[in-house]
Amino acid sequence: MQLTVHRASSAFQPHHLTVINIGHGAAADASAPRFGKTVFAKYLGLTDEPFDRIELDSRRVSEERERVESQLETYQDMYESQEGDLAKQIADEIEDLEEQLDDMDNGDEPIGDEVAGLVPFLNTDGDISQGGQQAIVDIFQYHNLTEELKRRTAREIILEAGADTPQSRQRRELRADRLENQFHQLGLENVAFVEDFPITNVVFGFTRINREPDDSRLIAFSESDVDSSGDGTPLFTDTVETEAIQVELSPRRVVTWVLENSRGDGEHVAALGDAIVNSHLPHGRKYPVPDSWDGSAVATWCTEHGVDAVDTEPLSEWDEPAIRSWLAANMDEIPTFDQLKMDPDDGVDALTYFVYHLLHTYSHLVLKHATQLSGFSRSSLAEFLMPRALSFVLYSNQRTDFNIGALYTLVESTFSDLLTELENRGNDCVYDPVCSREGGACHNCLHLSEVSCVHFNRNVGRDFVYGSKGVSERHVDGYLGLNIDE
């Protein structure tokens, strides 16, 4: 039994969700396979059409097809002005090119079928599972952020700030180049600034003491509390537009990191290897192995996880859509309030466990160091995670009608300093070695206030980013310790 004063804040456990407030009407149904295919077709770069004009039954024009069509058009123009043997040679070339186009037509798939081959859970006639719906929502939010909002990359911000003189432009280009080199060193794909980030918090009730559905009863807000003539239960919403920074991890490096952790002597190795072997591979692809592994390393990995070496291929042969789709399609459902455990019996495999820990920890590290350089307190910044897109957003959660520009200044002037501090001092904790032994996360090194962290400081650990220290009870190869040439 736990005694709590009825007025204490711990007695009220609010239930809420946070979304990027850009709607697309009734078509935005995460349980509908067609909507999911549209979302992933855009995310994987299979079409350049605007989101609401994507035709899943149309066929994608590949770069090879565009090249052949251009070549055919050139020969056809030449044929009209030639005679004799040269004209016959050109006619033969035209015939060969037309045959190539016919073969392409026979082999091309509609975009919807191509997406389903990359993301298997979309190949269904019924409703998509809860984990699949989370993946669609993640990718849809990522699309809204990158395509629908005014978003400028760190490089663009640096190049636009300062006097418009040759010397100033040269200095800014050098700074931008150095920052992008740091991105590469730290496994980041990109960093961008969003001026008006529309974030909506939706509160739909609360429980007492416990969040567990079986141990508590949701107290919903009464319809009589609001001026509404509609049916149903009122949802209290709060929308603000604020400044934000979006950070993306490198998908190729994340896959390399996962593979590196699937070999060795750690207790997680077998579970992570099983998750990889049992994963849904993109159509036509084999199990990936890092290019840095020699034949002996590949053979050892195959033996440990029961895979034939002929069923593997270098990761360099995977293109960007294959890598992104593999990560998004194979991450399990992430519980909102519970601890994410590496236990298949609980519906979560080691791949989800590792990728989510990495992204969530990286988010906390960047937020922690951002507060030291931007002037914000830790409770004044909050995180928004899109795990399947390997992206997170840090935004000001202050309720004001204006932006002070602190995050813009952080990107423009001191983000390089932030990354240097993160790399050199992010793994320090005054409570070491105890903190590292107990998971590498405490209120000194990683924990944030509950208004800032989406998962209440669960599923974070410094060893996922920096690697385990000697005193740690688990051995994890750190994300920052990878060979940067991968």
- pLDDT tens digits, one per residue of 214-223: 677 777 777 6
> Do the beta carbons of residue 187 and residue 251 sit within 8 Å?
no
User: Does residue 405 belong to any structural domain of this protein?
Assistant: yes
Residue 231 reports pLDDT greater than 50: yes
Q: What percent of the chain has pLDDT over 70?
A: 90
Instruction: With respect to residue 473, please indicate whether it lies within any of the assigned structural domains.
Output: yes
Tens of pLDDT along 149-170? Answer: 999 999 999 999 877 888 999 9
Q: How confident is the model at residue 240 (pLDDT cuts 50, 70, 90)?
A: confident
Average pLDDT over residues 181-194: 96
Min mean pLDDT across 8-12, 100-104, 233-237 is at 8-12
Give per-residue pLDDT as tens, 390-411.
Answer: 999 999 987 665 566 889 999 9
Burial of 162 (0-12, 13-18, 19+ CB in 10 A): middle
**Omega cis (within 30) before 433:** yes
CA geometry: angle 112, 114, 120, nearest 5 deg: 90
Long-range contacts for 120-124 (Cβ within 8 Å, ≥24 apart)?
120/280, 120/329, 121/280, 121/329, 122/33, 122/36, 122/37, 122/40, 123/33, 124/33
Domain membership of residue 367 as a residue range: 251-481
Grade residue 251 by pLDDT with cuts at 50, 70 and 90.
very high
pLDDT band with cut points at 50, 70 and 90 for residue 34: very high
Q: Kindly write down the DSSP assignment for every residue of 84-120, as one continuous string.
A: HHHHHHHHHHHHHHHHHHHHHHHH--BHHHHHHHHSG
Last residue of a domain, one of 51, 75, 107: 107
Coil, helix or strand at residue 210:
coil
Of 78, 107, 136, the domain-final residue:
107
Indicate the pLDDT class of residue 339, thresholds 50, 70 and 90. confident
Residue 272 lies in a domain: yes
pLDDT score for 112? 92
pLDDT over 70 at 199, yes or no: yes
Please provide residue 387's backbone torsions phi and psi, each rounded to the nearest 5 degrees: -60, -40
**1: in domain:** no
Q: 267-297 burial string, b = 16+ CB within 10 Å, else e?
A: ebbebbbbbbeebebbeebbbbbbeebeeee
End-to-end CA distance of the chain: 53
Distances (CA, A) of 81 to 76, 138, 159: 9, 56, 50
pLDDT value for 227: 64
Backbone angles phi, psi at 151, to 5 degrees: -125, 130
pLDDT at 347: 65
User: Among 230-234, 284-288, 348-352, 446-450, where is mean pLDDT lowest?
Assistant: 230-234
- Between the CA atoms of 371, 375, 376 and 378, what dihedral angle is there, to the nearest 10 degrees? 40
DSSP annotation string for 317-353: GS-HHHHHHHHHHH-----SSSPP-SBGGGTB-HHHH
Domain boundary residue, one of 47, 72, 107:
107
Buried b (16+ CB within 10 A) or exposed e, 450-473: eebbbbebbbbbbbbbbbbbeebe
How confident is residue 262, by pLDDT bands cut at 50, 70 and 90? very high
Provide mean pLDDT across the span 409-431: 95
Specify if 210 maps to a domain: no
169, part of any domain: no
How many domains is the chain built from?
A: 2
Give dist(CA 218, CA 167) in Å, integer.
63
Rounded Cα–Cα distance for residues 240 and 242 (Å): 6
- Say whether pLDDT at 106 is over 50: no
Q: Is the pLDDT of residue 83 over 60?
A: yes
Residue 107 has pLDDT above 50, yes or no: no
